[in-house]
Amino acid sequence: MSLSLLVSSPASPTPFPRVLPERPLRAVLLGCGTVGGGVLDGIRQSLAGDVTVEAILVSRHRKGRAPGRFFTEAESVFAAGPRLVIDCLPDGELAERLLELALQSGADIVSANKAVIARRPDVAVRARERGQILRFSAAVGGELPVLETVSRVRGEGRAILAVAGVVNGTSNFVLDRLAEGAGLDTAIRAAQALGFAEADPSADLEGRDAAAKLTLIARAAFGRDPDSVTLEAIDAGTPGRVREAAACGYRLRQIAILRATNAGVEASVSLTPRAPGDPLGDVRDEENAVRISCEGGDTILLTGRGAGREATASSVLSDIRAVIAARCGR
């Protein structure tokens, strides 16, 4: 990950009480797929003294998994009495219901689910009112600290005018494969094989994933959701557009844009040719790039991995460390 013109801010007092819970912190993990498995490995390797995962929710039992620790029933997982709920589930009704259970449990929450958090702004409000920590850095930009940077800039009183970037690593990977001559189905299968795309990649290809991320960024940057979001999908006609752009020396990219106007906050996700040397065009494969434009002409550029097991798990682990610091002072 690279950062340019990142501004620093003085540490502010945490709004959460330091309750000095028993150590290690009792946690439960919702989902143990690509991201959840990476988070579990990371806890074992670097947070074993701070966090212990007491129960793990999985879709089905598999050979080799320890009995009494892996469950297919949410009630059994929450019966462990967690102080921390780590949500690595895909979007859906189950994820939304379990996020509700996590709130009711009183536990702090770390989530990678941008769709549910974007769809349910009340979750953040209720968590704050109840004194629960809710962190979801992994929901936007993988290993890029997009939400943290936007919140820090706004907290300093600096106005953010626009945010633009490649915020979906799956689509970027697919577009690069198309540029190499692969067919759309082949490009999607390659992304799935590497863990960049879900079994159903439609949210990535249609721009809905990027739109959910724009909603979260808008809340951090402007304190409100976008008034409108326009979407343009990667579809059967996209390979031809990729070839046309390449013939002119350009790369086609799925660009997400958020802009403050006199009328409100506008957002769009569109396929746009980018010239050589443009950071938003130069990111390759699963990489992301986000440009934050501030009042006065200052620009902040963030680049790094935006999809895959390691990038997303790294961001979740960073949020877990932040919860430990807020609750235990380290």
- For residue 21, the model assigns a pLDDT of 56
The residues annotated with a catalytic role in the active site are 213
The sign of the CA dihedral 30, 76, 50, 64 is negative
- For residue 218, the model assigns a pLDDT of 97
When pLDDT is cut at 50, 70 and 90, the band that residue 67 belongs to is low
Question: What gap in Å lies between CA 205 and CA 223, rounded to an integer?
Answer: 27
- Contact, 267 vs 108, CB < 8 A? no
- Contact, 288 vs 254, CB < 8 A? no
User: Is residue 175 pLDDT above 80, yes or no?
Assistant: yes
H-run or E-run covering 98: helix 93-105
Architecture of domain 146-306: 2-Layer Sandwich (3.30)
| Ordered strands of the 2-4 beta sheet | 2-4, 299-305, 287-294, 160-166, 251-261, 264-274, 228-231
For the chain, the structural domain boundaries read 10-142+311-328, 146-306
- For residue 9, the model assigns a pLDDT of 34
Q: Which two tokens stand for residue 181?
A: 């001559």
Check residues 168 and 63 and name the one with the higher pLDDT. 168
User: Is residue 41 pLDDT above 70, yes or no?
Assistant: yes
Query: What is the chain's Cα-based Rg?
Result: 20
Query: CATH says 10-142+311-328 is which class?
Result: alpha beta
- For residue 22, the model assigns a pLDDT of 63
**pTM metric for this prediction:** 0.88
Question: What gap in Å lies between CA 107 and CA 92, rounded to an integer?
Answer: 21
Q: Considering only 8-17, 60-69, 143-152, 206-215, which range has the smallest mean pLDDT?
A: 8-17
- For residue 14, the model assigns a pLDDT of 44
Name the residue among 142, 191, 149 with its Cα closest to residue 314. Answer: 142
Q: What is the pLDDT of residues 5-31, one digit of tens each?
A: 333 333 334 444 445 556 789 999 999
What value does the mean pLDDT take over residues 119-145?
Answer: 93
What value does the mean pLDDT take over residues 144-168?
Answer: 95
What value does the mean pLDDT take over residues 251-278?
Answer: 96
Q: Which two tokens stand for residue 302?
A: 């963030």
Q: What is the pLDDT of residues 187-215, one digit of tens each?
A: 999 999 998 998 999 999 999 999 999 99
Name the residue among 66, 70, 60, 59 with its Cα closest to residue 28. Answer: 70
How far is the CA of 62 from the CAs of 41, 67, 70, 195, in angstroms?
Answer: 17, 10, 9, 20
